[in-house]
Amino acid sequence: MSSSASDDALEAIKQKKMAELQKMAEARAALAGITQPVHLTDSNFASEVARYPIILVDFWAPWCGPCRMVAPAIDQLAKEYAGRVVFGKLNVDESPRTAGAFGVQSIPTMMIFKNGKAVDVMVGAMPKGAIEAKIKQQLAPPGGSSMYG
C-alpha cells in the first residue's frame, strides 16, 4: 500500500470516527434537554421506550390521589437526572392497551426500562428517595459501585 493510499485510509477512518463521536454528543445533548416527563401513549410508547437507554415510566390517571402525590417527585427527578434518565408518563385511562400489555393493575405503577426492556417495577406511591434508589441501581455498572451515588 502506498503512503498516500495509507493516508487516505487513515483519513477515512478518522472521518468516520469523528462522525460517530458527533452523533453520540448530539444524543447526549438531546437527553440533557429532556428535563420534564415525556407524554406517552399507546401509539408512541414502543418507539419512545426504545429511543432512550434508560426511561422510567409512570403509569397514572388524573383521578388517582396517590398518583398526584408521586407527580412532584417524578418532575423533580426528571430535572435532576436530565442527560442520564428520561421520565415518561402514561395515562392508563387514555392508553389502556399499553397498561394492559404490562399487567398494570394498580396505579401508580412505575417501570424502569433499560435498552427497551422492563428491568424494574414499583407499585404504589413511593417517596422520592425510594424511586431515586431504584434509578441509581440501574445507573450502577454491573457488579460495581455507582459513580452517581
Residues 82/34, Cβ–Cβ less than 8 Å: yes
The two beta strands, 54-60 and 109-114, are: antiparallel
Residue 142 Rama label (left phi>0; alpha psi -120 to 50; beta): beta
Strands (E), 23-76: 38-40, 54-60
The residues that are catalytic are 64, 67
Residues 6+ apart with CB under 8 A from 116: 49, 50
